[in-house]
């Protein structure tokens, strides 16, 4: 009992945990959850909603807490030991998950309750939970004959191991590459802050000079500002070829295996493809609908993207006699042209976006919209000294959530930004148990002479992840299985994407965009430039997003057995959306973590889908004022607090009074007037 994960804890006891605590705690959690399931199955009473569906949703609480801590650490603070445990634990968890999903006795009890649902006088939330539980069994093989169940178990076990391996390889590739520059002229064009960060990075590694890595805060400034085209190319090739070197970190075979196993799994369960299986439980419903949705936007975006590309090409030719624009030129000339057209340079904006000020900004906006208060606390255990923690309360001082924020890159942290949770919200035994929510990002670090100053893109990223966090924090449902972000995948991005809109509004920016040295509020002319430039190169950006969605669907909407080369398949898929010449050494699929490691397989389209919702929703705010308490109250009540308790379109229409209109997105993107 000296394992802190097996003692009663409310807040994750990070400082008391050592890596050897995890596996015993996970095994113990599985054992306890199995007993809870056995209690449900062996109950001699007739199956009811309470003794079957509700009991099932509340089961496995310890296991959920332990695995949420473990897998979050595996993403944000991993090491070889943790990765080894993940490889050992994942098959056990996959096996346990199948033990439940394929338990015929349990399914029969659920089926009994489900068959009586019309006569049971259940609340809307209870009906939704019953429906979700029944489908999770019927869709995952509960009715399969034993031989097929065993096959399903084997596939799931292998898939969990392969996706971990995929992610480990991407992280190892990211950490492995270093470009050490010893001649200062190679840094020509780079902002002072980026140079200083590169020097600090080299010093940290005991090297002389300037160190450039594949971490976003290092990679993005170099690819955007460095005048040395050959070095931009070197960096772009390294970034674009992660997992594509035919060595021990190669992901090509892993990609093919994952795609094929997913397809076999879908067929085993009676679906035409993995996408057909996934989309049955999405707002989009079918692959055909996804393709026609992507195609509709493609028709509008492609002419604009081609015009923008021609404009960029002719600008690069005039400026530097570049005959053929390559991928490593895009960000560089795009930034130069943006400066020319709008007199707007990200470097001029950064002094107004000190990280601490932006954090205060999101807190102030959340307070004005939803009545929340954020109080820093040092009483909470953390896994890295860089993690910040806050007590979140409502206007009457009632506890709403515990909030963790982790902002800067580290060797044990994967790239990108995400929201996660350490404890779910639920109502149990008369108590409303409040959630513990976390966001993890990879923002520019402070340097010896400057605080962490964010690019505007990093500002929108912080608002995006904070929007997800609000969805988790403001959850107010009875059952953990429907709480917070437990919603359809193409609805989950609405709260995050809608929150980004406040970054572009004068009223919001004036609350937090203050010069880190003088305290001067961001000048009106800069706000105007931000607004004007918000649709800059939007056609190309839209085309890029659509290409990712189409690549995802190409792997998952039909049988991939005939795909022999990842690169050839990818090139064919990108044919209708590519503007730049193909780079033979690069391959996107081998590091496309969203779909091969994260949960976005057959779901990447949902970013664009949710953009339609968010553009439409924000038009509603703008009609009435971006801090209108009535609209904010409706959004909180019908979207943020409701989780997955009702069909998302029902919730959206209750908030908005109508279905979303795609024109709102096309208007905002400047693709239609």
Residue-by-residue DSSP string for 253-310: HHHHHHHHHHHHHHHHTT-SSHHHHHHTTSSS-SHHHHHHHHHHHHHHHHHHHHHHHH
Residue-by-residue DSSP string for 335-397: HHHHHHHH---HHHHGGG-BHHHHHHHHHHHHHHHH--EEEE-SSS--SSTT-EEEEEE-TT-
- Is residue 162 within 8 A of residue 85, CB to CB? The reply is no
Token readout for 394 is 């409502």
Q: What whole-number distance in Å separates Cα of residue 498 and Cα of residue 228? A: 38
| Residues ≥6 apart with Cβ < 8 Å to 106 | 37, 40, 41, 56, 100, 137
Q: What whole-number distance in Å separates Cα of residue 651 and Cα of residue 660? A: 12
Q: What whole-number distance in Å separates Cα of residue 608 and Cα of residue 550? A: 12
- Long-range CB contacts for residues 389-393, cutoff 8 Å, separation at least 24: 392/473
Q: Which residues of 498-511 are buried (b: 16+ CB within 10 A; e: fewer)?
A: bbbbbbbbeebbeb
Nearest to 351 by CA among 491, 468, 526, 553: 526
- Is residue 48 within 8 A of residue 113, CB to CB? The reply is yes
Catalytic residue among 111, 465, 493, 500: 465
Helices 22-42 + 80-101 axis angle, to 10: 10
Token readout for 116 is 């009586």
Q: What whole-number distance in Å separates Cα of residue 532 and Cα of residue 461? A: 19
Nearest to 122 by CA among 478, 426, 434: 478
Q: What's the angle, vertex CA 649, arms to CA 647 and CA 654, rounded to 5?
A: 100
| Residues ≥6 apart with Cβ < 8 Å to 335 | 224, 225, 345, 346
State the maximum Cα–Cα separation within the chain, in Å, rounded to a whole number: 82
Q: What whole-number distance in Å separates Cα of residue 539 and Cα of residue 305? A: 4
CA dihedral for 241, 245, 246, 248, sign (positive or negative): negative
Q: Residue 658 has what DSSP assignment?
A: S
Distances (CA, A) of 339 to 57, 393, 535, 573: 54, 42, 14, 33
Block residue for tokens 């004959």: 145
CA atoms within 13 A on the CB side of 641: 14
**Other beta carbons less than 10 A from residue 458's beta carbon:** 25
| Residues ≥6 apart with Cβ < 8 Å to 292 | none
| Residues ≥6 apart with Cβ < 8 Å to 40 | 51, 52, 55, 56, 59, 106, 109
User: Has 77 been annotated as catalytic?
Assistant: no
Phi–psi pair at 358, nearest 5 degrees: -65, -40
Block residue for tokens 């904006």: 349
Q: Residue 333 has what DSSP assignment?
A: H
Nearest to 373 by CA among 389, 349, 355, 397: 397
| Residues ≥6 apart with Cβ < 8 Å to 370 | 470, 474, 632, 636, 640
By annotation, the residues acting in catalysis are: 465
């Amino acid at each position: 009992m000296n394992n802190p994960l097996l003692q009663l804890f409310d807040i994750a006891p990070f400082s008391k945990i050592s890596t050897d605590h995890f596996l015993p705690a996970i095994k113990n959690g599985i054992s306890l959850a199995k007993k809870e399931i056995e209690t449900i199955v062996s109950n001699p009473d007739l199956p009811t909603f309470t003794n079957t569906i509700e009991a099932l949703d509340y089961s496995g609480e310890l296991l959920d807490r332990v695995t949420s801590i473990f897998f979050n650490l595996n993403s944000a603070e991993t090491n070889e030991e943790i990765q080894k445990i993940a490889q050992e634990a994942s098959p056990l968890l996959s096996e346990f998950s199948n033990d439940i999903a394929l338990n015929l006795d349990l399914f029969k009890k659920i089926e009994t309750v489900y068959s009586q649902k019309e006569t049971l006088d259940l609340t809307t939330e209870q009906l939704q939970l019953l429906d979700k539980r029944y489908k999770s069994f019927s869709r995952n093989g509960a009715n399969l004959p034993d031989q097929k169940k065993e096959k399903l178990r084997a596939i799931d076990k292998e898939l969990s191991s392969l996706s971990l391996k995929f992610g480990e390889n991407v992280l190892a590739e990211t950490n492995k590459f270093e470009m050490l520059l010893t001649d200062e002229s190679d840094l020509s064009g780079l902002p002072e802050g980026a140079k200083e960060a590169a020097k600090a990075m080299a010093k940290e590694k005991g090297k002389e000079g300037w160190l450039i890595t594949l971490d976003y805060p290092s990679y993005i400034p170099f690819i955007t500002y460095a005048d040395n085209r050959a070095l931009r190319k070197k960096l772009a090739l390294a970034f674009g070829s992660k997992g594509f070197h035919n060595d021990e970190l190669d992901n090509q075979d892993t990609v093919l295996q994952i795609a094929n196993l997913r397809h076999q799994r879908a067929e085993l369960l009676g679906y035409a493809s993995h996408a057909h299986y996934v989309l049955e439980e999405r707002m989009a419903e079918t692959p055909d609908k996804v393709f026609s949705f992507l195609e509709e936007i493609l028709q509008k975006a492609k002419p604009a993207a081609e015009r923008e590309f021609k404009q960029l090409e002719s600008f690069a030719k005039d400026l530097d006699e570049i005959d053929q624009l390559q991928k490593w030129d895009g960000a560089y000339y795009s930034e130069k042209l943006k400066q020319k057209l709008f007199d707007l340079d990200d470097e001029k904006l950064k002094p107004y976006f000190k990280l601490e000020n932006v954090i205060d900004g999101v807190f102030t906006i959340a307070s004005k919209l939803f009545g929340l208060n954020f109080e820093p606390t040092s009483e909470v255990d953390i896994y890295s000294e860089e993690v910040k923690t806050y007590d979140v309360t409502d206007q009457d001082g009632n506890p709403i959530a515990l909030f963790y924020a982790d902002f800067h890159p580290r060797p044990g942290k994967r790239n990108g930004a995400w929201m996660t949770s350490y404890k779910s919200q639920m109502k149990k035994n008369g108590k409303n148990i409040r959630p513990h929510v976390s966001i993890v990002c990879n923002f520019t670090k402070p340097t010896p002479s400057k605080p962490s100053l964010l690019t505007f893109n990093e500002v929108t990223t912080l608002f995006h992840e904070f929007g997800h966090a609000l969805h988790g924090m403001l959850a107010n449902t009875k059952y953990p299985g429907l709480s917070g972000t437990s919603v359809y995948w193409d609805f989950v991005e609405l709260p995050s994407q809608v929150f980004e809109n406040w970054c572009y509004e004068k009223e919001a920016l004036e609350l937090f965009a203050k010069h880190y040295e003088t305290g001067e509020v961001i000048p009106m002319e800069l706000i105007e430039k931000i607004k004007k430039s918000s649709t800059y190169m939007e056609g190309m950006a839209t085309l890029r997003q659509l290409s990712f969605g189409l690549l995802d669907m190409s792997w998952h909407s039909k049988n991939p057995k005939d795909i022999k080369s990842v690169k050839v398949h990818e090139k064919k898929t990108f044919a209708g959306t590519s503007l730049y010449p193909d780079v033979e050494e690069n391959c996107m699929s081998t590091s496309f973590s969203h779909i091969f490691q994260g949960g976005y397989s057959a779901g990447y389209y949902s970013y664009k889908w949710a953009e339609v919702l968010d553009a439409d929703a924000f038009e509603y705010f703008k009609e009435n004022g971006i801090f209108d308490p009535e609209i904010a109250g409706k959004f909180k009540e019908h979207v943020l607090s409701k989780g997955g308790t009702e069909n998302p379109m029902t919730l959206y229409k209750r908030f908005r009074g109508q279905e979303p209109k795609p024109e709102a997105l096309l208007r905002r993107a400047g693709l239609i007037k």
